[in-house]
Structure 1
Amino acid sequence: MDINQLLQGLDCPCGRPHTCPIQYVYIEPNAAARLGEICGHRDRVLLVADENTYAAAGRQVAEALQGKSVRQVLFPGAPLLIPNEDAIDTVTAALGDAELIVGVGSGVIQDLCKYVSHQSHVPYVIVATAPSMDGYASSGAAMITGGMKVTYPVGLPTAILADPAVLAQAPLEMLKAGYGDIIGKYSSLNDWKLSHLVNGEYFCQQIYDLTFEQVQNTIRLADGILKRDEAAMAALMEALVVVGILLSFVGNSRPASGSEHHLSHFFEITGIINGRDYFPHGIDVAYSTIITAQLRERLLQAEFPARLYRPDPARYRTDMERIYKQVAPGCMALQEEMGRYQSSDAAPYLDHESAIRSVLAEMPSADEIVRLLGLVELDPAEFYAFYGDELLADAIHYAKDLKDRYTVLWMYYDFFGTV
């Protein structure tokens, strides 16, 4: 797919305008050299990186910015940077009179730059150091504020720059994470169709098809990813950027973030709360896609209930406080606002039973997802052993409470509760 053509927008039968304000995407050798032309008349630049990402591409960026007035925010390479209030304050305090923010990194650096750019109305450019996630071109910044994982609507970068040679040197785990993030679209796209049926949510077939196309393209890259082949790096990065552009067309992350992402966010948030390690985002997404496939398989075997399961309020509160601790009040307030627990009416399912079964059956089987992940040597046994049965059960039942978005996690809970 020609990214620059896609940036011009799509004419679509869905009736919604599909436009994207990103001006440049360069996935090419020495892409950072493009910074001079992108900066143009802007002479004051804030460079944001951590020690690892600066080592990967920061020097090339600094060289490309020679002649500019450049300030730097350099976060430690360890421990893992968290995009929370402290990190936001650090970048904001360094901003001063900068006319452009240049982020050097991947997920967290990208989200920090997005967020601060939006708050300060200073444009930003991202120089990618790993093809690890699809957020480079999306209009959401995944931040952890108030202890909760919150995706804020933000602006898009002026430019995305990526050198395949730099991408190829990223930790292998991050390369697998990018592959896993794309495989997760099987689940998120299925959730989108499901919500369209159950809730009448907006759905665009063209965006669905183009996103699905990126999944098919990425599967063919598995061997090249393991070999760190630069052509495979470029193709994986292109798939991730294209998905992000498609999200910007929709105006939110719905096509690319569903139940598998909610499970991933659950492991991250509860890990932060309890000081427990968790896998990189894309790898958690990949493994969680196996779980969501298993849930769909069980739902396909189930009779549709006359009434939906609803928890005892006291038990629900106890479980939420046990799992989410200080974050529990915010999660419960969000769900009270959404109102899903207030109704046990099964009509939205019963009225569309045949169509819902058809949509659930479109999802590849859990065994097929395991096979696809095995192509990049991701073994779900490590996932199950790492998190354990109790945490996985809590994730299936309560990851949905972190977000306002309907997914198959809600359908599963509506049918089976905590059984």
Structure 2
Amino acid sequence: MDIDLLLKNDKVCGCGKRHTVDIEKTIIESGAVDKLYELTEEYERVLLVSDSHTYKACGEQVKDLLGDKIETNLVFECEGFLVPDEKAVEVLRSKISSDTDLVIGVGSGVINDLCKYVSFLSDLPYFIVATAPSMDGYASTGAAMIFKNMKVTFHARVPKAIIADTKVLKNAPSDLIKAGYGDIIGKYSALNDWKLGHVVLNEYFCSEVYDLVMETTEKTVSLAPGLKDRKEDSIETLMEALVITGIAMSYVGNSRPASGSEHHFSHFFEVVGLLNNEPYLLHGIDVAFSAVETQKIREKLLNISKPSKFRIFDRNLWEENIKRVYGKGAAEIIALQDKIGRYEQSLNEIYISKWEEIKSVLEEAPKSEQIKGLLEDAGLNYEDFLNIYGKEKLADAYLYAKDCKDRYTVLWPYYSILG
């Protein structure tokens, strides 16, 4: 797929939307960083943002390349994961002066989200220089942050330019490469949830965007051997897939084509991990393993000929469990669900009347064992996932991961019918 054609798209789709994206340039190739100076020709006061890891990977190279154009060089010092929370936002905003005319992030998920969010608040353009093919948010409008102990995605803006040098990307930590592959594998789950939402709630659905993401996913799943060997052509194809998926999200205006129940699981593990100071995996790796779990849910629902018994919602019991699971983040979760009102909206009659159509959608997703096999090919051992989270936390995710987001997914019929 020619990314430049996707960037130039301006036609009205069959779904009725005009799919556009405001990214001006995407360069994914060996030596891409060398073209950065030319791209910054009209800018003179650049805020360069990285962390202690990504500065070593490419930030120093960018700093030397841009020279006097760099007004401020911000390097977040971190031993483990940098968290995109209120504190990090405050630090970044404090480095923007009245003369700053461009923000350049050097990094992947968190650096991209921070620069995306803060540049949007400050009405500044931003570039992202990718250091790892680890996630699909490079080209999307959404900025995933941790605010008030909650994983929140804010609508922001896309970067003006994405620079991805395969010489840099191929040297990323292996877990980050696995995370990018895992994020793409998770699209099988996300796309199925999108179709399910269309059938059950009559949500907006675009078959062209769906096909774009599915074709990109199918093209990527065979890359595992090349990725393990850090082959530049495989790394380039993976990075292209991640960018295309981000463009698909920008086309739609939200993350629906790329994020579903598997992301809810991942967000659950991250939020609970941060709240309780417990370990959690990289986002894309969590997404990959969670796609196995959400597919198991679909397979359980497919075993039901027709639903006849439904959970009777017990508000007090639900609140008790939300407080047990989310701790000091529970108030935000409860407020979110009260705002959505889904617990007050019975879908039982729809499940009964549309069950055959629902099953037809659920049957389209790859089997859980097939997904597990794809992950094993990439060096992702499913037992590692089970060992780090354990049966109790996994059981809680099945029932309460859905509550940390406002999106309808397969987790809702599971809760109502089998939970």
- In structure 2, C-alpha distance between the alignment counterparts of 1:253 and 1:357, rounded to whole Å: 24
| CA distance 1:173–1:217, shift in 2 (3 Å) | same
- Secondary structure in structure 1 of the residue aligned to 2:370: helix
Q: What is aligned with 2:150?
A: 148
Q: What is aligned with 1:53?
A: 54
Query: Offset of 1:345 from its aligned partner?
Result: 4.3
Normalising by structure 1, report the TM-score.
Answer: 0.98
- In structure 2, C-alpha distance between the alignment counterparts of 1:164 and 1:44, rounded to whole Å: 27
- In structure 2, C-alpha distance between the alignment counterparts of 1:362 and 1:80, rounded to whole Å: 36
Matched, 1:42 2:48: no
Moved more, 256-265 or 336-345: 336-345
- In structure 1, C-alpha distance between the alignment counterparts of 2:297 and 2:81, rounded to whole Å: 32
Query: Offset of 1:343 from its aligned partner?
Result: 3.1
Normalising by structure 2, report the TM-score.
Answer: 0.98
- In structure 1, C-alpha distance between the alignment counterparts of 2:139 and 2:120, rounded to whole Å: 14
- Secondary structure in structure 1 of the residue aligned to 2:406: coil
- Contact 1:136–1:244, Cα closer than 8 Å, also in 2: yes
- In structure 1, C-alpha distance between the alignment counterparts of 2:328 and 2:257, rounded to whole Å: 30
- Contact 1:34–1:64, Cα closer than 8 Å, also in 2: no
Which residue, out of 346, 350, 360, partners 2:348? Answer: 346
Name stretches of at least 5 consecutive residues in structure 1 with no aligned partner: none
- Secondary structure in structure 1 of the residue aligned to 2:146: strand
Q: What is aligned with 2:5?
A: 5
- Secondary structure in structure 2 of the residue aligned to 1:47: strand
Which residue, out of 407, 411, 414, partners 1:405? Answer: 407
- In structure 2, C-alpha distance between the alignment counterparts of 1:3 and 1:197, rounded to whole Å: 31
Q: Which amino acid aligns with 2:146?
A: I
Query: Offset of 1:353 from its aligned partner?
Result: 1.5
Matched, 1:268 2:270: yes
Q: What is aligned with 1:225?
A: 227
Query: Offset of 1:10 from its aligned partner?
Result: 5.3
Q: What is aligned with 1:81?
A: 82
1:347-384 Cα offsets, whole Å, 9 max, x none, are: 22222211111000001111101111111011111111
- In structure 1, C-alpha distance between the alignment counterparts of 2:392 and 2:207, rounded to whole Å: 38
Query: Offset of 1:243 from its aligned partner?
Result: 0.5
- Secondary structure in structure 2 of the residue aligned to 1:221: helix
Name stretches of at least 5 consecutive residues in structure 2 with no aligned partner: none
Q: How does 1:82-231 map to 2 (within 5 A)?
A: 82-96=83-97, 97-231=99-233
Which residue, out of 385, 388, 403, partners 1:386? Answer: 388
Query: Offset of 1:309 from its aligned partner?
Result: 1.6
Query: Offset of 1:33 from its aligned partner?
Result: 2.2
Query: Offset of 1:38 from its aligned partner?
Result: 1.8
The two structures, once aligned, show a CA RMSD in angstroms of: 1.1
- In structure 2, C-alpha distance between the alignment counterparts of 1:312 and 1:202, rounded to whole Å: 31
- In structure 1, C-alpha distance between the alignment counterparts of 2:187 and 2:248, rounded to whole Å: 12
State, as a whole percentage, how many aligned pairs show the same letter: 50
- Contact 1:310–1:344, Cα closer than 8 Å, also in 2: no
- Contact 2:279–2:388, Cα closer than 8 Å, also in 1: no
- Contact 1:33–1:60, Cα closer than 8 Å, also in 2: no
Q: Which amino acid aligns with 2:374?
A: L
Matched, 1:31 2:46: no
| CA distance 1:284–1:45, shift in 2 (3 Å) | same
- In structure 2, C-alpha distance between the alignment counterparts of 1:344 and 1:42, rounded to whole Å: 54
| CA distance 1:229–1:146, shift in 2 (3 Å) | same
Q: What is aligned with 1:302?
A: 304
Query: Offset of 1:312 from its aligned partner?
Result: 1.6
- Contact 1:101–1:117, Cα closer than 8 Å, also in 2: yes
- Contact 1:106–1:130, Cα closer than 8 Å, also in 2: yes
Query: Offset of 1:36 from its aligned partner?
Result: 1.9
Which residue, out of 238, 241, 266, partners 1:236? Answer: 238
1:210-261 Cα offsets, whole Å, 9 max, x none, are: 1001111111211110000111111110000010011100000001000000
